[in-house]
Amino acid sequence: MKSKVELIYENNEYIVSINGSVVDRETDIDKAFDKFKSVINNNKTSEARAWEDIVNKFEALNNDNLEINNEFRTMTYGDMKYFYNMGKVFYMANGQMIPLIGGYSLFKFNLSVASEGSLEKANDFTEFCKDVILEDISYRVTDSSIIVSSASFNYGSAEYNFMSEKINKGASIIKGSFKDFKEYVLSVIK
């Protein structure tokens, strides 16, 4: 997806390389240039296939609130926007554009697990991620949980599992909603 393709002339030969690995050596410039173009076209094709695979997966969810822009390779779901070419996701609301941690996996997580089909829940989750980032705290998502890491928590992190609806505060695990988790985390980190 982020390959660097080079055509280099060195020691009377042309070298075609991808990410520093030599794929071809030629003494004829025309053959070297043809190979260079071929490598670029093959790379573009695999990128296009990867984008199409992502689009197909998300379209299968049949979510009316998901906006897919094939021209610019972006996806928007509520306040969260994913930029495929950059591999980044942003909080985009109220005239703000704040980068979030997680890229594609965070976007997918928000759409499939946290949102449960509700745009309001998805926007609440996105805003929570933004609030955590603005406090210079990191987080990560797993299959069904969000984990916020900070020395302010017992044992260095707090976790909310969307499947079991449990909050792991480090020293204790309690039943609770995402709203309860959000209030707990923000009260500790702010």
Residue-wise pLDDT tens digits, 96-123: 999 999 999 999 999 887 666 677 889 9
Q: Are residues 52 and 142 in the same domain?
A: no
Last residue of a domain, one of 32, 59, 86: 59
Q: Are residues 10 and 80 in the same domain?
A: no
- Residue 119: domain span: 66-189
Q: Between the CA atoms of 65, 69, 72 and 78, what dihedral angle is there, to the nearest 10 degrees? A: 0
- Total of domains in the chain: 2
Q: Are residues 121 and 180 in the same domain?
A: yes
Per-residue exposure over 147-182, b if at least 16 CB sit within 10 Å of its own CB, e if not: bbebebbeeebbbbbbeeeebbbeeeeeebebeebb
User: Mind listing the pLDDT tens digit for each residue in 23-69?
Assistant: 888 899 888 888 888 777 766 655 566 888 899 988 888 888 899 99
